[in-house]
Amino acid sequence: MAAHVLRTAPRRRIRLDEHLPVDHRLSMFYRIGAGLMGLVLLAFGILGLIDRVGFFDTDGDTVSGLNTNGALSVISILAGLLLFVGMVIGGNVASTINMVLGILFILSGFLNLALLDTEYNFLAFRIPNVLFSFVVGVMLMFFGMYGRVGSALPHDNPYWRSRNPEQAEREQRVKAGADLRAKALDHGTGTGSKGSTASTGSGAAPAPLGDGRSAR
């Protein structure tokens, strides 16, 4: 009895950016989010540097209601520039940058909350800074995760299709079959109507009705 060797094709690793073209509507959303948050952070950092506060001055100075020093200003500028890079690239890169920086801002809020009123408060954080860090982190995570993370993503979403390739392929086949049946039905209906019209027009003219009297 011959042995049958079953060979399975190697499963191709799906890259999410292959399913998210640059002009996709989600890409524009990621770009806008990165640009807005990057502008806020860049403005905050530049205003902090203008005041020429010491780099690790724990007392810091107030800028737009937030405490800052040289180190925090530089970090804010770098984060803002990174977000601008994501805005220019767009797509999957912008989404990932938004998410990663959002998580880092939230972690920074918790860490600096624990360091308040200590000698290790090198970024001169105060309670408003902590709240600001939480707000920026949540906003960045929203701008990064929208349309990408969730249990109720629409089936035409590129991220859903990349995570469920088999089901997406089945749905694509079903949709293609339904489209073919609809086209065939439309074609058949059109052909039937033409055939009916042709048979009526090409047939012999009906015989005139008699007057009911027989010839003698």
**Residue boundaries of the structural domains of the chain:** 20-149, 152-187
Nearest-angstrom CA–CA distance, 71 and 60: 10
Tell me what pLDDT residue 214 has.
44
Instruction: Return the DSSP state at 156.
Output: T
pLDDT given for residue 104 in this prediction: 96
Nearest CA-CA partner of 122 in 137, 134, 108 = 108
Specify the pLDDT at position 85.
Answer: 95
Do the beta carbons of residue 73 and residue 125 sit within 8 Å?
A: no
**DSSP H or E run through 61:** strand 61-63
Give the model's pLDDT for residue 36: 95
State how far Cα 13 lies from the chain centre: 20
The packing angle between helices 70-89 and 25-50, to 10°, is 160
Q: How far apart are CA 208 and CA 196, in angstroms?
A: 23
CA distance 79 to 77: 5
Q: How far apart are CA 172 and CA 94, in angstroms?
A: 29
Regions of the chain with pLDDT less than 50: 1-19, 21-23, 155, 198, 204, 212-216
